[in-house]
Structure 1
Amino acid sequence: MRKKINMPDKMKKMQESLQKITEDRQNYCLPPETHTNEHQLPDIRENAGTIEEAEIIGRAKEKLEILARLSGSTTERTTFLPIWGFGGIGKTTLARSVYNDPEFKNHSRVWVYVSQIFDLKFFGKTIISQLSSINICLQKLLTEKKNILIILDDLWEKHPSQLEQLKDMLKQGEGCKVTVVVTTRDEGIANEIGTVQPYNLPQLSDEMCWDKIRQKSKFETRDDKQRLEPIGRDIAKKCRGVALAAQSLGHMLKSRPHREWNSVKANHIWDLSTSTDASPGNEVLGSLQLSYNFMPPYLKLCFAYCAIFPKGHKMIKYDLIHQRIALGFVEASSTFSYA
């Protein structure tokens, strides 16, 4: 049986340790952390990867619309098509599907995860590294390629001059057609950067949310499907069309008994999420909080530990595992130990 963890005591000791580290840094006059290696660790969203079309639920129509808009801009040398919508609705998944579509199999393809750090120099280096094995200037590289597809995922920069510089940087190639798909949460950014009409990604239907929950929860393998389906459909309605909410709930409900499905359906968090914020995107927070609430205590502690890292920090998986072992959150194993 796993040893019971006193979470408040653990968190208090952790805070004391962090305070001691801070005091030591000040006492020894150590310089503050620099960010020279800020972009060296890959983010999970820094590449498109592969995605099975069967995993994309309810977006066939939207994908066809995106492809139609891109094919309709053949006269332009550089095309910027923004996909915009609130967080968790599925913009990145749709962009990934476009990236992997056979229509672009003969294109040179690039995936750039932009995030809230807008760095044109980094974008240029990323594009060069994905298009060429040698160090070459971007202008020459764009000239050498005939057709290029670039995905700029999760753009936050709002300043028009910065966005204009980004567009100018990708318009340098002579005789090269560059197609750029941008994902962003902000309609203003979409209107500013788009050279064709931005695409506002709609919410999923309740039926699509239920399909996603079924897929992620391995629903079809269960023996109690008939009993669970009405509950699952009610849960799907609470997702309010947000793909990430349905996905996280589906993962959480996998292998859960009937009573826990009922507990999720009747949880008060849904009332809080609708009363504090009427936007559908707020359902993501509700579903993620439910996922956290249903974690076993030791996993909650592991999850809470991540709060000590600043926003945007790139965590190294194995370092994090060893830290959790050293703090006693998880037990050492033959693979991972204190050493």
Structure 2
Amino acid sequence: MHNNKNIDMRKESDDIKGQQQNINLMAGPSCSELEFVDAREASPDVVEELIIGRTAEKGKIIASLLDGMSEKIIILPIYGIGGIGKTTFARLIYNDPNFKCYSHVWVHVSQIFDLNKIREYVISQLSGKESQAIERQIIHSCLTELLSGKILVDLDDLWEEDQFHLQELKDMLYHADSSIIILVTTRSERVARRICTNLQPYKILPLTNDICWDIIKQRSSFESRNDKRQLMDIGREIAKKCRGVALAAQSLGFTLRSMNIDQWIKVKESGIWNEPISDYASLPNHVLASLKLSYSHMDASLKPCFTFCAIFPKGHKIVKDDLIYQWISLDFIKPSNMLSNLQLGEKYIGQLLGLSFFQHSVPTFKANLHILQL
């Protein structure tokens, strides 16, 4: 059975390799010397010292939530373009000490709205048990019992616009014996306005060029470089091309950390910033441009590992060790004299986290597993 699974995975991998060869990306130098990112640098709890910007915004949001504590249910929609930092901002609120006495639930909703799945996620995280272990006929009473007291729920990446479905979602989470705060992140202002109740939707605005430059400096280990004076003006010009989008700055910053001054200049002057990328309407052009630049400078040995992940849907949660073993079984990882297969797999995971192609999933009841999310 295991062999058949590997054969199926190989077939899918061959298809992905074929697609990869047809991707028109600019050639770039290898970044085989990319450093391994310590997992502590990308904690699932979003260590606040590592988050640049949004501090004042967070303070205002926390104050508005605390002011509304008398309400049984508070819904705060957070909306903005892809890559602007909605999820990171929501996590900062989610992990704030003001809500330490709340039970926490994090649900990645995605484009396919499934109320039953959302219900199962809520039950799983509040009960600490797999939702499948709960009898279907008592699921409603179970949910009513669990949704008592103080609950903080984050519904991440909501796309559903149907007013009836949104009302069903709110009705499912509302219970008379509870005090519930619901954070909702979405790209759609329409969704944000339809889900809101007592708080106006909050729009995440672009970061300033200076903050984007600060993010690039952080991700590229700029302050430890000997050539930082020569790179200062070049880096500021690159930061402008991010147009205030955190994801673009994060991805570029990690890519730039292994580059010399000539390569920084090539990134700044690349024609990719002006190319139309109409096939990817869900993200702004400058975000896709930064991700394409990061991909094109990715080490050749890392590309098939990343491309393989195209078999998973957006937002899919992956057990890190399982993914590494899949890469090994498909011969994507070749042991070196210095590192074993598993050590290389860990290094590749670190690089993909640094490039923001992966992120750590919010901890759930599976606390013993290291879960990644696309």
> Shorter-normalised TM-score: what interval?
0.7 to 0.9
Distance 1:15 1:80, change over 3 A: closer
Report the TM-score when normalising by structure 1: 0.78
Q: Indicate whether 1:286 and 2:281 are aligned.
A: no
Deviation (angstroms), 1:329: 3.7
Q: Shift of residue 76 of structure 1?
A: 1.9
Secondary structure of the equivalent of 1:81? strand
Kindly state the Cα deviation for residue 199 of structure 1 after the two structures are TM-superposed.
0.1
SS for the counterpart of 1:298 is coil
The share of aligned pairs that are identical, in percent, is 48
Which of 191-200 and 56-65 deviates more?
Answer: 56-65
- Aligned residue number for residue 104 of structure 1: 99
Q: Give, in whole Å, the separation in 2 of the partners of 1:13 and 1:163.
A: 38
Partner of 1:38: none
Map 1:125-204 → 2, pairs under 5 A: 125-133=120-128, 137-143=142-148, 145=149, 147-171=150-174, 173-195=175-197, 196-204=199-207
Q: How far is the alpha carbon of 1:277 from its aligned partner? A: 9.7
- Say whether 1:265 aligns with 2:260: no
AA of the residue aligned to 2:172 = M
Deviation at 1:318, TM superposition (A): 4.5
Letter in 1 for 2:227: D
- Aligned pair in 2 of structure 1 residues 142, 319: CA closer, same or farther (>3 Å)? closer
Q: Any idea what SS the aligned residue of 1:137 has?
A: helix
Quote the offset at 1:16 in angstroms.
11
Q: Which residue of 1 aligns with 2:54?
A: 59
Name the amino acid aligned to 1:188: R
Identify which of 207, 221, 225 aligns with 1:222.
225
Distance 1:82 1:183 in 2: 6
Structure 1, unaligned runs of 5 or more: 1-9, 19-47
Select which of 49, 52, 62 maps to 2:44: 49
Q: Which residue is equivalent to 2:255?
A: 252
Q: Which residue is 2:243 aligned to?
A: 240
Q: Normalising by the residue count of structure 2, what TM-score does the alignment of the two structures yield?
A: 0.71
Larger Rg: 1
CA distance in 2, matches of 1:14, 1:278: 27
* Displacement of 1:283: 1.4
Structure 1 residues 258-299: Cα deviation after superposition (integer angstroms, max 9, x where no partner): 111111111110111599999983211000000011123333
- Contact preservation (8 Å) 1:113, 1:153: yes
Cα distance in 1 for partners of 2:100, 2:204 equals 24
Give the aligned residue type for 1:223. Answer: N
Show CA shifts across 1:78-112 (max 9, x none). Answer: 11110000110000000000011111111122111
- Structure 1 position 159, deviation (Å): 1.1
| Residue 296 to residue 17, structure 1, CA distance change in 2 (3 Å) | closer
1:123 and 1:199 mapped to 2: Cα distance?
23
Higher relative contact order (CA 8 A, sep 6+): 2
User: CA separation in 2, counterparts of 1:278 and 1:154?
Assistant: 16
- The answer on whether the counterparts of 2:80 and 2:86 sit within 8 Å (CA) in structure 1 is yes
Please identify, of 55-64 and 162-171, the stretch whose mean Cα deviation from structure 2 is larger. 55-64
Measured at CA, do residues 289 and 164 of structure 1 come closer, stay the same or move farther in structure 2, by a change above 3 Å?
A: same
Q: 2:347 aligns to what? A: none
Cα RMSD of the aligned pairs, angstroms, is 3.1
